[in-house]
Structures are given as structure tokens and as C-alpha cells.
Amino acid sequence: MSHKVITPTLLLVAMLVLSISLSSCNRGNSTPSSVNPANSQTSPAPPPKTGFEADLEYVRKGQYTYVWVFSRKDGKALDKDDAAYLRTNAPQVVDWVTTEEGKKVIAGTNFDLAQGNLALLQKRFKVEDYTGK
């Protein structure tokens, strides 16, 4: 008689354990099955900036009041004499970043070069004001 009572009890316990284990298998998936990630409306990440744009962003992150870009009027790469001339005539510049394969240099400063030697620098270089751009 006790054998007949144990069998249905064991069967009930086995079914209970099986149902609990099957229902807990999907707990790691926090998204409902009706949501399809391929259909979600996410915009693609913008491509990383490279070259001049990346260098300009680097200088801007320095939070300088003024950002200037210098290049030779003939379009050639800046040489060591050009670099020395810039540093001598714009000593207020804190950050110099060479870009465009040495053809441009980006300057970050908190001093308005227009109140300094900007006119002198414009005689030798093409000067672009990127402040606030």
C-alpha cells in the first residue's frame, strides 16, 4: 500500500522540479521575446574623426579661448624654421598641434593674438581663426 502512495508523490515532485527548472532557464534574457533588436531604431555611431578634425577637436577640448590654424602660403609642409618663427612670435600659445602631414599647425591659447603679433604672422603664414567654429 505504501508503494502505491509513494509513486504518485514522486511523480508530483518530479513534475514540480522539472517545471521550476524549465521556467527559470530564460531568466538571463531581460528583453521580451516580442522585441527584435534588428528592428529597433538606433542610429549608427558617427565614424571617428581623423586627421585635421580629430586634431582640432583635441585642441578644443583644452578649452582655450582662441584657436588659430597656421599654414604656409605656398601650401608646403612647415619646416623647423617655420616652427621656430611661430613659437618666437606667438609665445602666448599654450598648445601647438601639427596636422595635415605637417602642412598645418593648430594653436590653442587664452590670449587674443590679434592684440599681439598676428599682423606679423599673417605676412608669412595663412592664418585662420577657428575660435568658436
Distance CA 52, CA 55 (A): 5
How distant, in Å, are the alpha carbons of 29, 38, 48, 110 from that of 41? Answer: 20, 8, 21, 42
- Which structural domains are found in the chain, ordered by start? 51-129 (3.30.70)
**What's the grid cell of residue 31?**
528583453
- Residue 120 to residue 26: CA distance in whole angstroms: 72
Helix (H) or strand (E) holding 96: strand 95-99
Coil, helix or strand at residue 39: helix
Strand partners, 120: none
**What DSSP element (H or E) covers 82?**
helix 80-89
Helix (H, G, I), strand (E, B) or coil at 21: helix
Chain Cα centroid distance, residue 87: 29
pLDDT values of the chain reduced to their tens digit, one per residue, 133 residues: 555 556 777 777 777 776 777 766 555 555 555 555 555 577 787 777 779 999 999 999 999 999 999 999 999 999 999 999 999 999 999 999 999 999 999 999 999 999 999 999 999 999 999 998 7
